[in-house]
Amino acid sequence: MKDKIFRFLLFVAALLILLLSAAIVYALVSRSGETFREYGIWGFITSAEWDPRSATEEYGALSFILGTLYTAFFALLLCVPFSLAVALFNGEYFKGKKIAGVVRSVVDLLAGIPSIVYGLWGFYTVRPLVIALDVNAQGFGIFLSSVVLAIMIIPYASSLSGEFLSMVPNNLKEGAYSLGATRIEVVQHISLPTAASGIVASYILALGRALGETMAVTMLIGNTNRIPGGLRGTGNTMASVIANQFGEADGLKLSALITIGLLLFIITAVINLIAKLVMKKLSHA
Amino acid sequence: MENIKITHSKNAILQLKDVSVSYTPEKFAVKKVSTDIYPNTITAIMGPSGCGKSTLIRAINRMHDLYAHITTTGEILLKGRNVLEMDPMEVRRMAGMVFQQPNPFPTMSIYENVLAGYSLNGIRLNRSEKDEIVEQSLMSVALWDEVKDVMSKRGSFLSGGQQQRLCIARTLALKPEVLLMDEPTSALDPISTNKIEELLLELKQKFTIIIVTHNMSQAARISDNSMFMYLGELVEHGNTAQMFTKPQHKRTEEYLTGVFG
């Protein structure tokens, strides 16, 4: 009897989570209706116009989609060498050593720092450096947000790819050493290619995090509602424009912001799905 | 040791002098092993699990260097040069190793696997040199006819026995002086084992082979000389036929007759 009740409770809990997810999607979709009726899906995605003045009101998501892609991919680019270095340090060169454990804990600690703290640090510490480097006058923009974002996603990229590197079978490495390979040759020709799909999957997951990161980016990107003029320019990401403007939005503008939320939700879901597929392929190989 | 009746015709290619290997300062896995190995012979190393036979052959190509806590002392002379003072990469190219578990590189094709020793060491070859090395190496392990039409397939596409022959070919491609084999057939079925044993008998025309084996009948079938190790010590080293019929030491006799194993 007890067993039956417990099973029933588990079933209810699982069902509740499914219903909740469905409710979130439903809320997003239903409140996006106004935007879609006004512009159509394609029209909304391809328009870079964002004009909230009531007389000339018009909304399009392109500036924010591009702003999101710029910052996320540039952050990923910056994060690759560092997270690869950490992964090789922990998963290959110092595998199983005390120092690897220390590095791993510190990197994990980075993952636990709240986004707002990164935002503050970026605002007061990194921004003056960006100004000193003469990237742009105010420091705010794609470059600054990408740098901070890169540091924020290093833990995600490095810990998972380090796991995959440390899973490369020892007998393959010994086989390569027995043929006279040096350590760097083993890493380059055996460890990295063998762990490649896992490493790629880790980076896709890190990209997913970068796409959705909100608080720090909102504080650093400059919040301008147009297509960013390159790395030096300012802009807005999909997440940051919502964070910045939802408080004073109503009507069509609110619907447009919710539609951007829906699009962001879809993009990150697809990215996570791709990462899972890559890893699944790996585990069957 | 008085068991000097080792089969040989030429000077030793490999000389071990007081070789000891320790995992911790007090714990020796191999204790003061001294002996000579002669060219174009097959030497089988036998002994119960944990007697140090794998540890001994891994000392010869300096695999122990990969693990900081293992120390090797003594002298290992390969063609007169002390292995322990040479560049380990050069040593490993001169003394090739085949492992218990076939380990073709899964990210490389069959063709690339054979050439792995070259590509890993950054040695550039032109197409015809590559083709020649691949064909020769695969011929010498009797794998050429079986794989010549599937060269671009992954090494893991082959059966276990074929994979092990591919690994032998990969080692032979570097033209080593000595072939070290660490229980190369223990993961294989009897038919594949038989093929590899036949292969070794052919390969000894060109190479010197040292094979660690658990399988006494394998040692009897293929080896010229046998070494019997017990608790890290080399108990006996001599002509295989003689050792199997008239072992010099009581321990050897007990092992060969199955008193312990």
Residue A55 has a pLDDT of 85
B7 pLDDT above the threshold of 80 = no
CA distance A174 to chain B (A): 8
The whole-angstrom separation of Cα B150 and Cα B155 is: 10
- The amino acid sitting at B5 is K
Tell me which of B10 and A13 has the higher pLDDT.
Answer: A13
- B22-58 per-position pLDDT tens digit: 998 888 999 999 999 999 999 999 999 889 999 999 9
A182 touches chain B (CB under 8 A): yes
B222 pLDDT above the threshold of 50 = yes
- Which residue in chain B is spatially nearest to A169 when comparing CA positions? B103
Q: Are B63 and A178 a contacting pair at CB < 8 A? A: yes
Write the residue in A174, A186, A194 that is nearest to B106 by C-beta: A194
Q: Are B92 and A180 a contacting pair at CB < 8 A? A: yes
Q: Are B180 and B207 in contact (CB under 8 A)?
A: no
Closest CA to B225 of B46, B80, B10: B46
B209 pLDDT above the threshold of 90 = yes
- For A52, other C-beta atoms within 10 Å of its C-beta total 15
**Does CATH number 1.10.3720.10 belong to domain A58-284?**
yes
Q: Are A169 and B103 a contacting pair at CB < 8 A? A: yes
Binned at pLDDT 50, 70 and 90, residue B214 comes out as: confident
Residue A96 has a pLDDT of 83
Binned at pLDDT 50, 70 and 90, residue B92 comes out as: very high
- Domain B14-101+179-256, second-level architecture: 3-Layer(aba) Sandwich (3.40)
A175 touches chain B (CB under 8 A): yes
**Average predicted confidence (pLDDT) for chain B:** 92
The whole-angstrom separation of Cα A144 and Cα A123 is: 9
Q: Are A147 and A125 in contact (CB under 8 A)?
A: no
Q: Are A175 and B106 a contacting pair at CB < 8 A? A: no
Helices B160-172 and B127-140 meet at what angle, rounded to 10? 130
Q: Are B171 and A178 a contacting pair at CB < 8 A? A: yes
CA distance A273 to chain B (A): 25
Q: Which residues of chain B are within 8 Å of residue A175 when distances are taken between CB atoms?
A: 99, 103, 105, 167
- B99-120 per-position pLDDT tens digit: 999 999 999 999 999 999 999 9
A180 touches chain B (CB under 8 A): yes
Residue B26 has a pLDDT of 84
Residue B260 has a pLDDT of 77
B4 pLDDT above the threshold of 60 = no
- Which residue in chain A is spatially nearest to B113 when comparing CA positions? A176
**Predicted model pTM:** 0.84
Domain ranges of chain A: 58-284
Residue A285 has a pLDDT of 52
What average pLDDT score do residues B206-226 get? 94
A177 touches chain B (CB under 8 A): yes
Token look-up 């074929």 returns: B162
Write the residue in A171, A182, A186 that is nearest to B99 by C-beta: A171
Beta bridge partners of B239: B225
Residue B156 has a pLDDT of 84
Q: Are B107 and A196 a contacting pair at CB < 8 A? A: yes
CA distance A272 to chain B (A): 25
Residue B22 has a pLDDT of 95
A residues 190-219 lying closer than 8 A (beta carbon) to B: 190, 193-194, 196
Question: What 3-state DSSP class applies to B167?
Answer: helix
The whole-angstrom separation of Cα A235 and Cα B95 is: 62
- Which residue in chain A is spatially nearest to B87 when comparing CA positions? A180
Write the residue in B66, B106, B117 that is nearest to A180 by C-beta: B117
- For A43, other C-beta atoms within 10 Å of its C-beta total 12
Residue B124 has a pLDDT of 92
Token look-up 């070794």 returns: B200
Which of A167, A177, A178 is best to mutate for the B interface (most B CBs within 10 A)?
A178
pLDDT block averages, 10 residues each, chain A of length 285: 92 96 95 94 94 89 95 96 94 89 91 94 96 90 96 93 92 95 94 92 93 94 91 93 92 95 95 88 63
Using CA of residue A249, residue A253, residue A255, residue A261, what is the dihedral sign? negative
**Cα–Cα–Cα angle for A160, A166, A167, rounded to 5 degrees:** 95
- Which residue in chain B is spatially nearest to A182 when comparing CA positions? B89
Binding-site residues on chain B for chain A (CB distance < 8 A): 61, 63, 66, 89-90, 92-93, 96-97, 99, 101, 103, 105-107, 116-117, 119-122, 167, 170-171, 174
CA distance B134 to chain A (A): 15
Residue A279 has a pLDDT of 81
The whole-angstrom separation of Cα B177 and Cα A165 is: 33
A169 touches chain B (CB under 8 A): yes
Residue A234 has a pLDDT of 93
Which of A164, A170, A179 is best to mutate for the B interface (most B CBs within 10 A)?
A179
Binned at pLDDT 50, 70 and 90, residue B139 comes out as: very high
User: In sequence order, which ranges of chain A are alpha helices (DSSP H)?
Assistant: 2-39, 41-46, 62-88, 98-112, 115-121, 127-132, 142-166, 170-178, 183-186, 192-212, 215-220, 238-245, 251-284
Supply the ipTM of this predicted assembly. Answer: 0.91
CA distance A194 to chain B (A): 6
